[in-house]
Copies of this chain bind each other. A is one copy, B any other.
Amino acid sequence: MLMEQLLNTPAKWMTTSQDDRDIVLTSRIRLARNIDKTPFPGWATRQERAKIWEQATDAARTLTAMKGAYCFELSNMEQQNKQLLVERHLISRELAARGDSSGVMISKNQQSSIMFNEEDHFRIQAIYPGLQLKRAWTGITKIDSELESKIPYAYNSQLGYLTACPSNLGTGMRASAMLHLPGLIITEQMNKVMQAAHQLNMTIRGLYGEGTEATGNLVQISNQSTLGETEPTIIEQMNRFISDLCHQEWNARKQLLKGAPLTLKDRVGRAFGILTNASILPTKEALGLISFVRLGASLKMLDPGLLKEINSLILELQPAHIQRNQSSQPLTSETRDILRADIVRKYLGRFSLTIND
């Protein structure tokens, strides 16, 4: 019931419109926190984990941001619903793979969530549309401070917040933004961007985190170091780097439009043509083609109105979302590809290419 309610409500970050959203889809921050003098989830016994779950959720439930929040324990969740929350970026793949005494609390507007007994006792997350890392930081800090007043955190004055994995030691913070960079990818400038990111202690990865590729020209940028710098400094640096990257992306798009307008129109047109006429559409191919349609819309080759809902469309194309929205029977991957083609055709069929005029 609660899960149904959550899934029927689009998250705020999916639909809110932001000026710079054309390039930056979302800004996310997550904090790794642990309860003092308590074994990390990976080392804890089953009973200890149950106790942690009790203590952690009890505290989280009293947070202002979690008023009326959803709370799910993994052992009570259907496989499909876990997958749905992964696709919505509300839980991690790692959490989805866990069982008893692991779970998640999600705020009513789905902007904040807390995972319990993932790699750490708490993984607090805030997700906002567009480039809003600073706002996400303000939001998450409030939750963090409030939680700290109720739970004694594992903290060392030399090392900072103690975490299960040393890579999170210190601030325990991972800030990230999801960007659509077709211009820089097509003009082959990503190596340069990766190098610059590396020098600033940031990493660039694919749509679903580590080890995934930049399907649909979507990449995630996140900070690498959690030691030695304060959170506001890291966020300020990332904010500047991403703003700069948006600028470069726009320049690359303009350069494409100026240098080879027809080649670009051709690619956008072909993508649109396939998406509106295919009968079978695998996720990866769909995302790749939608990237060109999105690029075309941002350059006014297609009705820019389609950008408004395209992030929700991208969610609706994901396997678990198709399973949930389209059928009560278990679907094969082949059937999902057919349903995906229907969804895309219906969505994009309402728009038209303006480049043929």
A residues lining the B interface (CB < 8 Å): 262-263, 265-266, 269-270, 272-280, 338, 341, 345, 353, 355-356
Contact = CB atoms under 8 A, between A and B. Distances in A.
A289 to B, nearest CB: 10
Q: Which 8 A-B pairs have the closest CB atoms?
A: A273-B277, A273-B273, A269-B277, A266-B279, A266-B280, A265-B279, A273-B274, A270-B274
Contact of A279 (B276, B338, B355): B355
A345 B280 CA distance: 23
Main SS class of interface, A:
helix
B262 A338 contact: yes
Nearest to A261: B279
B338 A345 contact: no
A54 to B, nearest CB: 51
How many subunits of this chain does the assembly comprise?
A: 2
A338 B345 CA distance: 26
Name which of A262, A269, A338 has the most chain B CB atoms within 10 A of its CB: A269
Contacts of A265: 279
A276 B277 CA distance: 10
A109 to B, nearest CB: 37
A273 B268 CA distance: 12
Contacts of A341: 266
Given A262-B280, A279-B355, 15 more contacts: A262-B279, A263-B280, A266-B279, A266-B341, A269-B277, A269-B278, A269-B279, A270-B274, A270-B277, A273-B274, A273-B275, A273-B276, A273-B278, A277-B353, A277-B356
Nearest to A272: B277
A104 to B, nearest CB: 38
Contacts of A356: 277, 345
Contacts of A275: 273
Contacts of A266: 278-280, 341
Contacts of A274: 270, 273-274
A270 B280 CA distance: 10
A341 B262 CA distance: 11
27 contacts: A262-B279, A262-B280, A262-B338, A263-B280, A265-B279, A266-B278, A266-B279, A266-B280, A269-B277, A269-B278, A270-B273, A270-B274, A270-B277, A270-B278, A272-B273, A272-B277, A273-B273, A273-B274, A273-B275, A273-B276, A273-B277, A273-B278, A274-B274, A277-B353, A277-B356, A279-B355, A345-B356
Contacts of A278: 266, 269-270, 273
Contacts of A353: 277
A306 to B, nearest CB: 15
Contacts of A338: 262
A270 B338 CA distance: 14
Name which of A263, A266, A278 has the most chain B CB atoms within 10 A of its CB: A266
A264 to B, nearest CB: 9
A355 B278 CA distance: 10
